[in-house]
Amino acid sequence: MNPSRREILGTVAAAGAATLVAPGKVLARLAADGPCAVAPGELLGLLPLFRGRPQPQEFGIKYGGVGLDARLVTDLSTLEPHKLITPNDLAYIRTEMPAAAAEAFAKGPWTLDAGGLIPQPATLTLDDLTPLSKQMGPYLFECSGNANPANFGLMSVAEWEGIPLVDVVARLKPAKDAAGVLVSGFDHIGQNSQRSIVGASWVYPLASLDKLGAFLAIRMNGEPVPADHGRPVRLVVPGWYGCTWIKWVNEIRLVGPDEPATTQMVEFANRTHQAEPFKFARDYAPADIQTAATPIRVEKRKTPQGLEYRIVGIVWGGKTVVDRLQIRFGGADQPFTPFQICPAPKTHTMWQLWEYRWKPEKPGTYDIALEVADQSVPQRRLKSGYYMRQVKIDEI
């Protein structure tokens, strides 16, 4: 039987991926070749990962409805070591471009209303801000509702170019009593949705704005930001969930300490791990993505020592590089086994690949759970089992 496209991609990834070695026989066999050696083996196929929910029929195609309900998921299983950037047409979409944003873009030039606690209201044109733009690097963006365990495909990585938000705010000369900056964008006003609330805005603390590193992105992977990703300008908030990455930005307002929480902040309070949907924006904790990891494919391989299963996954999020994970097969009564990511990741701003060689003792359906080996690292979703997946082993 000829291998599928995904199997071919798996073979390519196997040839170049950073290698992690499991304990026992596999470790002994690889020791002579060095800690990052790739063991020989013939790819026999890929085993599906699941957890009780179906995945979309096709990746890279919008589904689910229009407007607020439009979705497009990224196929994480095809990630390769040297191709970790998601092409624009395959990057996940959570909401498509509103008609009002399309009309404003067509009329041009694109403007941003500036107001609030500044000397006087102003209208900023994107053309005036563009000379301040610079390369910002690769950043991962993930929907806070990335909850389909069949694929976790509401997550992507892109290279960005944009204007630091702190520079834009400085030009507006905020008043001494300004405590935050509210960024708003066009939304689907008037749409009835069972899954989303109309409103696209978030308040960011002014005191930590420089450290936050947020910027107004105008280019994505070397091209103008695509329509459904915020054309012509979207906010990027490194390390925070996608609900804070406001698209189709059309307003910046400096606000005081008693600014109410926006409808977007209230809607996503649970998914951004707030203690409650607070009344005031000042009470919201950073909507940060803590360190997480998940398997993305399971390869069945034939080796001289018999069948072996190669678990390939990703690690992302957090504030520091993580080079050591631990993995568990089975229920909570089973122990975690620590392993080293080899070579160690160089950045935490995007995802990094890891792998683990596994020889199960018997056929069956196994839960695959991960944690950061260093228990002092914040990892709330890993601890809750959020990214746990399952695989069915028929042959050992």
Mean pLDDT over 206-224 rounds to: 97
Q: Are 313 and 298 in contact (CB under 8 A)?
A: no
Calpha distance 186→202 (Å, rounded): 13
Mean pLDDT (the chain, rounded) = 89
Instruction: Give the per-residue pLDDT at 57.
Output: 63
- Band of the pLDDT at 10, cuts 50, 70, 90? very low
Q: Which of 252, 283, 314 is the last residue of a domain?
A: 283
- How large a percentage of the chain has pLDDT more than 70? 89
Say whether pLDDT at 247 is over 50. yes
Residue 61 lies in a domain: no
Cα 212 from chain centroid?
Answer: 17
Q: Are residues 218 and 202 in the same domain?
A: yes
- Band of the pLDDT at 40, cuts 50, 70, 90? low
Domain of residue 276, CATH code: 3.90.420.10
Number of domains into which the chain is organized: 2
Instruction: Give the per-residue pLDDT at 34.
Output: 42
The total of other beta-carbon atoms located within 10 Å of residue 153's CB is 22
Domain that holds residue 265: 67-283
> Which residue, among 370, 365, 364, has the nearest Cα to 387 in the 3D structure?
370
Say whether pLDDT at 197 is over 90. no
Residue 46 lies in a domain: no
Q: Are residues 108 and 226 in the same domain?
A: yes
Residue 372 lies in a domain: yes
Dump pLDDT digits (tens) for 70-92.
999 999 999 998 899 999 999 99
Dump pLDDT digits (tens) for 290-318.
999 999 999 999 999 999 999 999 999 99
Q: Are residues 386 and 279 in the same domain?
A: no
- Band of the pLDDT at 23, cuts 50, 70, 90? very low
Instruction: Classify strands 111-116 and 249-255 as parallel, antiparallel or unpaired.
Output: parallel
Q: Are residues 154 and 259 in the same domain?
A: yes
Dump pLDDT digits (tens) for 115-125.
999 999 999 99
Q: Are residues 277 and 303 in the same domain?
A: no
Query: Between residues 287 and 29, which one has the greater pLDDT?
Result: 287
Per DSSP (E only), the strands in the chain are 42-47, 111-116, 122-125, 134-142, 155-164, 180-185, 201-205, 215-220, 223-224, 234-236, 249-255, 292-303, 306-316, 324-329, 337-340, 352-358, 364-372, 389-393
Q: Are 168 and 175 in contact (CB under 8 A)?
A: no
Q: Are residues 95 and 227 in the same domain?
A: yes
Domain of residue 370, CATH code: 2.60.40
Residue 99 lies in a domain: yes
Residue 51 lies in a domain: no
Q: Are residues 35 and 125 in the same domain?
A: no
Say whether pLDDT at 248 is over 70. yes
- 181: helix, strand or coil: strand
Query: Between residues 284 and 28, which one has the greater pLDDT?
Result: 284
Q: Which of 283, 302, 324 is the last residue of a domain?
A: 283
Q: Are residues 81 and 21 in the same domain?
A: no
Q: Are residues 279 and 162 in the same domain?
A: yes
* Low-confidence winner among 37-46, 103-112, 172-181, 384-393 (lowest mean pLDDT): 37-46
- How large a percentage of the chain has pLDDT more than 90? 80
Q: Which of 254, 283, 312 is the last residue of a domain?
A: 283
pTM, 2 dp: 0.89
Say whether pLDDT at 232 is over 60. yes
Instruction: Give the per-residue pLDDT at 198.
Output: 86
Q: Are residues 341 and 276 in the same domain?
A: no
Residue 60 lies in a domain: no
- Band of the pLDDT at 241, cuts 50, 70, 90? very high
Calpha distance 327→21 (Å, rounded): 12
> Which residue, among 280, 251, 252, 256, has the nearest Cα to 179 in the 3D structure?
256
* Low-confidence winner among 1-15, 85-99, 194-208, 218-232 (lowest mean pLDDT): 1-15
Calpha distance 75→154 (Å, rounded): 9
Dump pLDDT digits (tens) for 55-66.
666 888 999 889
Residue 377 lies in a domain: yes
Say whether pLDDT at 20 is over 70. no
Q: Are residues 267 and 321 in the same domain?
A: no
Q: Are residues 259 and 343 in the same domain?
A: no
Mean pLDDT over 275-284 rounds to: 98
Residue 48 lies in a domain: no
